[in-house]
Amino acid sequence: MKIALGADHAGFELKEKVKKYLTKHGYQVEDLGTNNGDSVDYPDYAYKVAKHIAGNQADFGVLVCGSGLGMAMTANKVPGVRAASATLEQEAQLAREHNDANVLAIGARLVKDEQAMKLVDTFLKSSFGHGRHVPRVAKIEAVEREIAREVAKGTRS
């Protein structure tokens, strides 16, 4: 399984630990940056990971910033991406089971390293529950298509 990984400066150290953890557990990891703790803008890295997910260049994405929130917000702008920010294992599990999330966003300032690894593990080992959740995820995809049509017609900027 291939994982696209990205972080801003606040998430850099935790990203490096997540990368080591994933590699140790047999995942193929594509690190899309950042590559040090110098200040950068989180949307740049969220977008890189989201493009990899939307383009089927990775199976899942993991994003790390200070809160996980900005990364998730940015990634969710890319059609086909369903990013969830989680601090609890149950959130990571439900994001996969109910929403077919394909990107996990973690807040390095909100969770300790051990909890971050549990979040990643839970997210990657959980699977979409199908059943009653299929039409709901289809509605998310329908919203994406409608927005794309509006933008193409010039009725939405």
Q: Which residues are catalytic?
A: 65, 98
The pair phi, psi for residue 18, each rounded to 5°, is: -65, -40
* DSSP assignment letter at 112: -
- CB 128: neighbour CB atoms within 10 A? 15
CA count, 13 A, side-chain hemisphere, 78: 24
Distance CA 65, CA 79 (A): 21
C-alpha distances in Å from residue 38, one per residue of 9, 11, 12, 42, 70 = 6, 11, 9, 12, 18
How far apart (Å, rounded) are the C-alpha atoms in residues 42 and 142?
Answer: 27
